[in-house]
A and B are shown apart, each in its own frame.
Chain A
Amino acid sequence: MSLEDLKEIPYGKTAIELKNISLAFGGVKALTDVSFDVKKGEVFAIIGPNGAGKSSMLNVINGFYKPTSGTINFAGTDRNEMEPELAAKSGIARTFQNIALFKGMSTLDNLMTGRLLKQKQNFLMQALYVGPVAKEEEEHREKVERVIDFLDLQSIRRTPVGSLPYGLQKRVELGRALAMEPEILLLDEPMAGMNVEEKQDMSRFVLTVNNELKTTIVLIEHDMGVVMDISDRIVVLDYGKKIGSGLPKEIRNNKAVIDAYLGVSDD
């Protein structure tokens, strides 16, 4: 299974399917029997109250957690668990809820790390820095510069990301994921802690990536306005169980979902 296989999946067909995923940490059940599928080219949202298991779900998809049971069908292959490296190699990129950038490195270097898997020269060639290495380096720099242009990061190219404000760090993290040229992009609360303008910018970036690059997007977000506006389909989790799924307008009127968010009165 490779990136090429994944590209061959027609638009609108299943890109990744999760079947009966359960995940437990000792006695704590983070996920119970959750199934859903993500179609290629859609914006798919996972929502739910705090502690519903949304981030755990993303961690299962990109191999950071190993599910206790269930299968992940990815590009036609059934597997019980993913490996982070395999996920990265097969075109799954992600961002984190609490920004996970390389704080000591500049914006440019952070984005360049997104290209690491695609750089093939061995270390002896790198030490000599002869022809092929320099050429490879320039090719990837060009790709990264496109991401920099797209996300308006030109002015902070050389700034260490540790000293950037929060909103920009979120954007750099998106940039690092985009530099990987992913087929599936997992975004863990990309708009958390942002003001309205920043949220608008971020929504615009997400939609542009989805429209122009045809990247499949799986998104966790708490801002219901954003979720209802930009996502094609939604799955709702509560206490590790799936309580609803469907189009935004269906979710909006789903009784179980409203109860999970607002609580149920006893009488």
Chain B
Amino acid sequence: MIYKETGQYKSSYKSDHAIFPLLQDKIAFSTLMFIAFLIIPFVINSYWEKAILVPFLIFSLAAIGLNILTGYCGQVSLGTGGFMAVGAFSTYKIMTYFPDMNIMIIILISGLITAAVGIIFGLPSLRIKGFYLAVATLASQFFLVWLFNKVPWFYNYSDTGQITVSERTMFGIPVTGAEAPSYATYLFCLVLVVTLSFAAKNLIRSKMGRSWMAIRDMDIAAEIIGVPPLKTKLSAFAISSFYIGVAGALYFAVFLGAIEVTESFDIMTISFPVLFMIIIGGLGSMLGSFLGAAFVVTLPIGLKFLMVDMVGLSAVTAKHFEITIWGLLMIVFLIVEPHGLARLWSIAKEKLRRWPFPY
């Protein structure tokens, strides 16, 4: 009843191929965009910005990146942390050398640099697949973090090895640095995430996306119909790394402000959580990337609220519980719904279509 698609006829291939073919989806999306752009910026406070919204947006972007590579092109990667570090350090170095450059341009260039690095580390994917490729990308994770740690040029020879962002403005309002207001950092991330999400969705629904999925599902058949495997896999690595690089740049410049590479881009703090996001959210689903990011970002906050504020456990005990529950949820998810939250959502839509008269 609520989610009724009968009567919505498509009279052209264009409307049939739209991103949101159903009226209900269009309304829901427009409402969401209205709230995100025109309401939240006026009510946002520092807690919501730092704890929930900005990390959610940044990790959504990283999850989209990894989902392009793993979910759509079928190449498992554990190097997300390393690639995010490339984005962060590129931003830092460009900021040092070009103090007057616009922050938006800096971040996009950092994405391009990460894409180039991604292509290099994607080269083994032509020869190795599956678990073996995962191990090869794991090497990139460790190598890149080691590189940024060992070569002082990357952190401008500072004593601590930390890199710190300087203030940059968009339209006269600071978006990086300690002085940046909450709404500015939030809107800056939001604009980038929305634009890049549409770009990703467009790629996925056209030639590029179909080539990726063909390689994912059966590379031999893909080659027979004329999809070049090397080029297609490398394009997935490049575009995926671009998204992850932009996420890394935002993570450093807008979100944290100051980072230390081994701590911030560790495999346990970035690579695995982002992989969990796309598994929990749904491999090969744009919606899944967002749902997964939202789940992973809000779960610790929810659990902490439940255990510390409601039950009254000590913070340390709560942290232990959190890790346990986290692992448990992972297992439950993989057993009960291996296709993730996106699949749950499409089941819910199926139910809503019939509600309240399931025959």
Contacts and interface: CB of A to CB of B under 8 A. Distances in A.
Q: 7 tightest CB-CB pairs across the interface, nearest first? A: A88-B226, A102-B217, A100-B221, A129-B202, A127-B199, A117-B226, A126-B206
17 contacts: A64-B223, A85-B223, A85-B226, A89-B226, A93-B225, A103-B218, A104-B217, A113-B210, A113-B214, A116-B207, A116-B214, A116-B225, A127-B199, A137-B13, A137-B206, A141-B13, A180-B226
B199 A88 contact: no
Given A100-B220, A137-B17, A142-B13, A85 B228 contact: yes
A162 to B, nearest CB: 9
Contacts, number: 100
A11 to B, nearest CB: 26
Given A116-B227, A142-B13, A101 B202 contact: no
A100 to B, nearest CB: 4
Interface residues of A, number: 38
A244 interface: no
A211 interface: no
B284 to A, nearest CB: 7
Given A119-B207, A123-B208, A141-B17, A113 B235 contact: no
Interface string A148-167: 00000000000000000000
A123 B217 contact: no
Contacts of A141: 13, 17
A96 interface: yes
Contact of A128 (B202, B220, B222): B202
A84 interface: yes
A186 B310 CA distance: 68
B206 A84 contact: no
Interface of A: 62, 64, 84-85, 87-89, 93-94, 96, 100-105, 109, 112-114, 116-117, 119, 121, 123, 126-129, 133-134, 137-138, 141-142, 145, 176, 180
A96 B221 CA distance: 9
B213 A109 contact: yes
Contacts of A127: 199-200, 202-203
Nearest to B74: A104
Interface in B197-240: 199-200, 202-203, 205-208, 210-211, 213-214, 216-218, 220-228, 235, 239
Nearest to A157: B16
B316 to A, nearest CB: 44
A57 B221 CA distance: 17
A74 B14 CA distance: 39
Given A101-B218, A103-B217, A112-B210, 7 more contacts: A64-B220, A88-B225, A103-B218, A104-B213, A129-B205, A129-B206, A141-B17
B208 A126 contact: yes
B210 A64 contact: no
Contacts of B224: 62, 64, 84, 87-88, 94, 100
A41 B239 CA distance: 43
A137 B208 CA distance: 12
Nearest to B201: A129
Interface in B1-53: 12-14, 17
Contacts of B205: 129
Contacts of A128: 199, 202
A138 B14 contact: yes
Q: Which one of B205, B206, B223 has the highest number of Cβ atoms from chain A below 10 Å of its Cβ?
A: B206
B13 A100 contact: no
Given A105-B213, A116-B210, A176 B225 contact: yes
A119 B200 CA distance: 18
A127 B205 CA distance: 9
Contacts of B216: 102, 104
B214 A102 contact: yes
A117 B202 CA distance: 19
Contacts of B222: 102, 113
Contact of A102 (B13, B200, B213, B235): B213
Nearest to B223: A84
Contacts of A121: 206-207
